[in-house]
Structure 1
Amino acid sequence: MLIHPGFDPVAVRIGPLAVHWYGLMYLLGFALFVWLGRRRLRHEPYRTLGWQPRDVEDMLFWGVLGVIVGGRLGYVLFYKPLDYLAQPWQIFAVWQGGMSFHGGLAGVLIALAIWARRQHRPWLQVMDFIAPCVPTGLAAGRIGNFINGELWGRVASPDLPWAMVFPAAGPLPRHPSQLYQFALEGLLLFALLWAYARTPRRTGEVSAAFLTGYGVLRFTAEFFREPDAHLGLLSLGLSMGQWLSLPMVVAGLALWIWARRRAEAT
């Protein structure tokens, strides 16, 4: 049985300034987005359409804005609406933690829709561009969760070779679900999407693959992740993360069908 190392969440201290590992993981995710985005410019149709490195940097700015605003509001609305209704000023205390991936995704969709409109570019074309560049950022975030010893997994059998005790969760061995999500939603999803997007696809198909792939992999990982204590398991024994992932799968499949029919019609 393994024991979580209990990393110091602060990576570097410079006088009163404390640089947290989780913040560094965010920065790593943003850097990977720029690096992969510049390589994505070599893919069709972006190479033919004359996309530039500056477009990648602009999308990062708008995407970060969407992640922060959408992620925070998503957490407020999906996970603790009554708590924040009673203390609405706490919505702005982002340094205390509390972000939702699904809310962050919605924020990115809206932010980049605005950017696409300003640049006179098709929104789905923009979404297809960024989709393969996102999973590495998700992977970095899950490593941050693991370092912080948070969002641990459900209780596991002591016979499981990689079962781990997270001191903050009590003495029982648990699944290191942060690492499961790192491997599934991060590395595996990236490898599949990047390979899929390297050849020209119908507009919307790469976005559809991301929505479906993430939804399925997140739904699967949630079986090993401890549900939020204040929510527990909801209807049908599913967690909030699973219920929020189901619409992603449905939307991805619907977008895939639409993209194919639209291409056939033209």
Structure 2
Amino acid sequence: MQPIFHPQATMPTHPFIDPVALSLGPLTLYWYGLMYLIGFVAFWALGAWRARTQGWAPLQPVQVGDLLFWGAIGVIIGGRLGYALLYNLDATLADPVSLFRVWEGGMAFHGGLVGVLVTSWLYARRLGVGFFRLTDFIAPLIPIGLGAGRIGNWINGELWGKPTDLPWAMIFPAADYVPRHPSQLYQAFLEGLALFVVLWIVSRHPRRTGLVSGLFLTLYGGFRFLVEFVRVPDAHIGYLAFDWLTLGQVLSLPVILFGIGLILWSRKNAVPESRPATENA
């Protein structure tokens, strides 16, 4: 049953926020793009620090910038193509140029994940580093960007949740005046903060190859699957089955299963050894 909205109730209302964060002459910076910039800067800063301080890291600090460059390309291309093919195919075919308007939103995590995996595999081959050793290094650096992206969704007033009577419900005028789950903030907390804290703590010490990557996939997929229960699916897609199964849940299931498989596989792998002292300088 849909909750009844009482005008006298003091429910927080999503404010109108100009999607443009900063405009200087011909330069326009959108909030959504700014969130991605925050994620990229955090990736570089934390990655360089870990490469410098963790002797078992597969990269030198100077190589983190190169990895970020190729990874950012993978995120943007994979995320946009994933969104276009999985969530917005008809609109993209009608307006192909929309693929390049990243600041308007419309990024699919699962597409971005594939893009990152492809660029990581190519970069690992170039360096002669094991693929899963590299992804174990990358995994703890990703959640900040994921959380920032969900904050960008909230700022844009998009991807709201289902109606609810919970005291922290929020009204999204772009949808209606019914209190709803702020599902973007749930995802920012779970996929961003919680996932970052867990992976950062686990990866403080050398782990068997594949464990950190598997943990990332399992937790992200699980968090995403759960939040989908209170998030409104895209109107042009709706529920795929049972009046509750969403495309996001279907795409998250193989992520979870592959993550669990990686964790089990990691049990037979060795713990990475530290680089010689001369390489850590």
For residue 168 of structure 1, the aligned residue among 157, 171, 174 is 174
* Runs of at least 4 residues off by over 6 Å: none
Partner of 2:65: 57
Q: Which amino acid aligns with 2:246?
A: S
Q: Is the 8 A contact 2:32 2:105 kept in 1?
A: no
Q: Is the 8 A contact 1:44 1:199 kept in 2?
A: no
Pair 211,224 (structure 1): closer, same or farther in 2 beyond 3 Å:
same
* Deviation at residue 90 of structure 1 after TM alignment: 4.6
Is 1:24 the counterpart of 2:34? The answer is: yes
Partner of 2:136: 128
Partner of 1:234: 240
Partner of 1:33: 43
Give, in whole Å, the separation in 2 of the partners of 1:58 and 1:89.
28
TM-score, normalised to structure 1's length? 0.91
Q: Is the 8 A contact 1:44 1:200 kept in 2?
A: no
For residue 146 of structure 1, the aligned residue among 133, 154, 163 is 154
Q: Which amino acid aligns with 1:73?
A: L
TM-score, normalised to structure 2's length? 0.87
Q: Is the 8 A contact 1:33 1:60 kept in 2?
A: yes
Is 1:43 the counterpart of 2:49? The answer is: no
Partner of 1:119: 127
Q: Which amino acid aligns with 1:198?
A: R
Q: Is the 8 A contact 1:153 1:226 kept in 2?
A: yes
* 1:16-48 superposed Cα distances (whole Å, 9 cap, x missing partner): 4321111111111111111111232223511xx
* Deviation at residue 263 of structure 1 after TM alignment: 4.7
Q: Which amino acid aligns with 2:238?
A: G
Pair 8,86 (structure 1): closer, same or farther in 2 beyond 3 Å:
closer
For residue 260 of structure 1, the aligned residue among 264, 267, 276 is 267
* 1:66-114 superposed Cα distances (whole Å, 9 cap, x missing partner): 0011011111221133444455555445454321011000000001111
Residue ranges of structure 2 left out of the alignment (5+ in a row): 1-10, 272-281
Give, in whole Å, the separation in 2 of the partners of 1:134 and 1:179.
17
Partner of 2:275: none
Partner of 1:217: 223
Q: Which amino acid aligns with 2:204?
A: R
Q: Is the 8 A contact 1:3 1:164 kept in 2?
A: yes
Give, in whole Å, the separation in 1 of the partners of 2:224 and 2:183.
11
- Number of aligned pairs? 259
Pair 250,162 (structure 1): closer, same or farther in 2 beyond 3 Å:
same
Q: Which amino acid aligns with 1:242?
A: Q
Give, in whole Å, the separation in 1 of the partners of 2:19 and 2:55.
41
Pair 146,119 (structure 1): closer, same or farther in 2 beyond 3 Å:
same
Q: Is the 8 A contact 1:152 1:175 kept in 2?
A: yes
* 1:88-144 superposed Cα distances (whole Å, 9 cap, x missing partner): 555445454321011000000001111111111111111000100100111111111
* 1:170-229 superposed Cα distances (whole Å, 9 cap, x missing partner): 111111111101110100000001111111111111100000010001111111211111
* Paired-residue identity, %: 56
Partner of 2:84: 76
Give, in whole Å, the separation in 2 of the partners of 1:184 and 1:44.
29
Between Structure 1 and Structure 2, the one with more helix by share is: 1
Pair 82,11 (structure 1): closer, same or farther in 2 beyond 3 Å:
closer
Q: Which amino acid aligns with 1:29?
A: G
Question: SS of the counterpart of 1:61?
Answer: helix
Moved more, 70-79 or 88-97: 88-97
Pair 3,105 (structure 1): closer, same or farther in 2 beyond 3 Å:
same
Moved more, 128-137 or 253-262: 253-262
Moved more, 124-133 or 4-13: 4-13
Moved more, 178-187 or 33-42: 33-42
